[in-house]
Amino acid sequence: IIRNFKGRSEAKLQRILEKSPERVEPRCPIFARCSGCQYQHLSYEAQLFWKREHVQQAFSRIAKIDVTVEATVPSPKVYHYRTKLTPHPQEPPPRRQRLAWQQGGEASVDYSALGFLEQDWGDARDASGRRWRKVVDVRSCPIA
């Protein structure tokens, strides 16, 4: 467990003891680092199920609304179906973070990167202790 909140915790996967039959090898070589998609390690049928399930949970658990969410409508394409992406450029950190990084942490940042934020928040922290996420440079995306 890496972070605790009032109603939930966040954890980092250490290892897979037994693979689910729904688990597949992600097509994207940077899937484990990139935050652009979260379901690529699941079969397409499982992706559709879990997308619907997450919406259902958001209504019932978070919004406290009792609704029935219809099944997710599948795309005719399993890959290259996304028509909208929001890539991020790697920007220099704000002044407070630059001051905290003067110890050499900033040297590991590639300011030419264009892509999506890293899955993990990383170890770099600003002067107030907040973590900093770098941008994963995405050359091509199998779902875009």
pLDDT value at residue 77 = 93
d(CA 98, CA 107): 11
Tokens of 52: 């619907």
Residue 45: band (very low, low, confident or very high) from pLDDT cuts 50, 70, 90: very high
Q: What average pLDDT does the segment 103-108 reach?
A: 55
Cβ contact 47:26 at 8 Å? no
pLDDT value at residue 40 = 92
Cβ contact 33:118 at 8 Å? yes
Check whether 129 has a pLDDT greater than 80.
Answer: no
pLDDT value at residue 93 = 62
Residue 134: band (very low, low, confident or very high) from pLDDT cuts 50, 70, 90: confident
Q: What average pLDDT does the segment 124-129 reach?
A: 63
Check whether 58 has a pLDDT greater than 80.
Answer: yes
Residue 75: band (very low, low, confident or very high) from pLDDT cuts 50, 70, 90: very high
